[in-house]
């Protein structure tokens, strides 16, 4: 009886998790009518407002009413005098459960930022935001977790009190921690692995039964790395530690304008040249960081005092110099760094300054992906400056500049976590940005020195690596200059965060070693992470019988093909 019960629990738990897959989709178009709510609304009552105002109440001084347009019913909050005068629904929050939140939003005139907020006994939690428009519906996708269990109120707010807030197709879906981890595991299986079937045969074409096969991964297909600095050029221990782990890097300061032209007219690329040469020797890809930095505090000392015409000339000279010098040698360019939070160049050269620079950079180096790069999009959703919606606005601005011809613009998420990560918020922001079709990277990952720092780092890296649309990860952990988070000490001995990185590298197949034997027909089936492998085949009946092969396990374009059949001759 006890055995049957255990089996039932295992099967039921698996079925429950399978019955609640996570929906990674998002819509970034403004539509005539909202789409159906995700998860059929989850725990939200009357999510499509088809039953009048059942489940919904006014909050603050707002008045609410059900309206209908084009056959679609929705709720409207009007007569608003305060940002949080709105429409609300009560629910019971569960401690530590990840919640996925979504809604379709419209405003009565112009456009306005609308945020989803949850009020609890402990305070307010922000669940996401969207720049809503009039005359069409925009999807707000967000997420949040709670530190306690208890009653809560979900509502939608806007600082623009002149607009009515229209809401429809609302969804709030809770998941368990086990289900969230299962989402990650299933996504990794689909995104990063492939099933291979190998048959070994002898020189006469006969199958070799019971042959021993060792797969040793030499290089992973997924770009994972750390920032590095000039100290690597003359430190063998630093070199060995770095090259044994990472396949991509970003130079901390050495390629920036204030490093290569600290004195006007005197350029010096010797250090960045040497670092790029070192990276190339070890087949480490390099992200170009950066062409410009829009923060006024990080300009070369001689730049801020230049009048506009001279600044424009200096900008063009810098752009042509650095992008031409490294043309075709990088995997990415951070072109105008942090131009969501800052606007030094725009304040001096006009609101189209960033867009023009991106277009000029593309004209010089059309083969390298040009990236936006900013912070707090996935780290802290209270920062309204760099929400996913603001990224979308900046993308439209660059693509709307004269001469844009469809070239790719990447999205860099710096990922400097100064508070504990909120994984549902992180995931939903990535979902929204992924709907652009742009390449997505985490570019400067670190976690502030706080209790559970290593645990939080592991959460962030797992979430990013498993997300279907994240194409690479770079940590901001340069030796001796690791401001928030260090992986090793002065002697390259692992610190707790270094242990996390090494554990995940092994778990994700980096330098993976796997041994197995063929069956009676010489076949062996294995599931391997994408990457480059050396395959060693031996046979127990003949000690001299061995063979080395190179094997590439790569993603396949055809989504329905899950296996790759390889025949190896010994």
CA dihedral 142, 145, 151, 156 (to 10 degrees): -20
Long-range pairs, 392-396, Cβ under 8 A, ≥24? 392/28, 392/131, 392/432, 392/433, 392/436, 393/131, 394/339, 394/340, 394/354, 395/436, 395/438
* Rounded distance between C-alpha atoms, residue 127 and residue 145, angstroms: 9
In 3D, which of 518, 548, 503, 511 has the Cα closest to residue 196?
Answer: 518
Contact 316, 283 (CB under 8 A): no
Specify whether 267 is catalytic.
no
CA dihedral 46, 51, 57, 62 (to 10 degrees): 120
Specify whether 48 is catalytic.
no
List 164, 254, 444, 458, catalytic entry: 444
* Rounded distance between C-alpha atoms, residue 270 and residue 264, angstroms: 17
List 164, 254, 261, 338, catalytic entry: 338
In angstroms, the Cα distances linking 447 to 147, 442, 495 are 20, 13, 14
In angstroms, the Cα distances linking 519 to 200, 207, 300 are 10, 9, 66
Pairing of strands 99-107, 563-569: unpaired
Identify the burial level of 151 via C-beta atoms within 10 angstroms of its C-beta, where 0-12 means exposed, 13-18 middle and 19 or more buried.
exposed
* Rounded distance between C-alpha atoms, residue 114 and residue 98, angstroms: 22
Active site residue ranges: 338, 444
């Amino acid at each position: 009886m006890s055995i049957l019960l255990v089996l039932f629990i295992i099967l039921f738990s698996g079925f429950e998790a399978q019955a609640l897959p996570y929906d990674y989709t998002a819509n970034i178009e403004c539509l005539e009518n909202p789409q159906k709510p995700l998860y059929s609304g989850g725990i939200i009552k009357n999510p499509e407002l088809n039953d009048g105002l059942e489940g919904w109440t006014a909050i603050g001084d707002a008045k609410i009413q059900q309206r209908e347009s084009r056959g679609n019913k929705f709720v409207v909050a009007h007569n608003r005098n305060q940002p949080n005068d709105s429409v609300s629904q009560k629910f019971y929050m569960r401690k530590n459960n990840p919640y996925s939140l979504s809604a379709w939003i419209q405003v009565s005139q112009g456009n306005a930022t609308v945020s989803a907020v949850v009020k609890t006994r402990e305070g307010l939690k922000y669940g996401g935001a969207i720049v809503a428009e009039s005359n069409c519906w925009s999807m707000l996708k967000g997420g949040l977790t709670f530190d306690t269990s208890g009653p809560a109120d979900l509502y939608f707010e806007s600082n623009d009190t002149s607009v009515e807030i229209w809401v429809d197709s609302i969804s709030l879906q809770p998941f368990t921690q086990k289900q969230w981890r299962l989402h990650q595991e299933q996504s990794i299986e689909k995104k990063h692995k492939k099933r291979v079937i190998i048959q070994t045969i002898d020189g006469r074409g006969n199958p070799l039964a019971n042959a021993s096969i060792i797969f040793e991964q030499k290089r992973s297909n997924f770009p994972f790395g750390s920032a590095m600095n000039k100290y690597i050029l003359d430190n063998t221990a630093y070199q060995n530690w770095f090259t044994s782990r990472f396949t991509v890097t970003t130079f901390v300061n050495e390629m920036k304008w204030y490093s290569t032209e600290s004195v006007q007219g005197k350029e010096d690329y010797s250090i960045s040249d040497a670092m790029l040469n070192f990276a190339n020797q070890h087949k480490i890809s390099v992200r170009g960081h950066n062409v410009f930095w829009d923060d006024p505090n990080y300009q070369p000392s001689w730049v801020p005092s230049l009048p506009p015409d001279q600044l424009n000339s200096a900008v063009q000279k810098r752009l042509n110099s650095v992008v031409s010098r490294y043309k075709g040698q990088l995997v990415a360019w951070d072109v105008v760094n942090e131009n969501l939070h800052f606007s030094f160049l725009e304040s001096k050269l006009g609101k189209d300054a960033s867009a023009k620079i991106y277009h000029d950079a593309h004209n010089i180096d059309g083969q390298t992906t040009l990236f936006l790069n900013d912070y707090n999009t996935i780290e802290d959703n209270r920062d309204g400056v760099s929400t996913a919606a603001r990224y979308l606005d900046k993308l439209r601005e660059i693509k709307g500049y004269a001469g844009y011809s469809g070239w790719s613009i990447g999205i860099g998420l710096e990922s400097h976590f100064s508070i504990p990560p909120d994984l549902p918020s992180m995931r939903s922001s990535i979902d929204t940005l992924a709907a652009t079709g742009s390449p997505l990277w985490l570019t400067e990952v670190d976690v502030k020195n706080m209790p559970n720092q290593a645990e939080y780092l592991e959460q962030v890296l797992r979430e990013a690596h498993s997300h279907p649309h994240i194409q690479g990860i770079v940590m901001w952990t340069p030796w001796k200059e690791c401001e928030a988070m260090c992986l090793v000490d002065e002697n390259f001995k692992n610190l707790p965060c270094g242990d996390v990185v090494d554990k995940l590298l092994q778990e994700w197949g980096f330098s993976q070693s796997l041994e197995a034997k063929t069956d009676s027909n010489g076949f062996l089936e294995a599931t391997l992470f994408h990457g480059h492998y050396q395959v060693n085949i031996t046979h127990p009946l003949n000690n001299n019988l061995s063979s080395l092969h190179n094997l590439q396990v790569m993603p396949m374009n055809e989504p329905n093909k899950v296996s790759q059949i390889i025949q190896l001759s010994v």
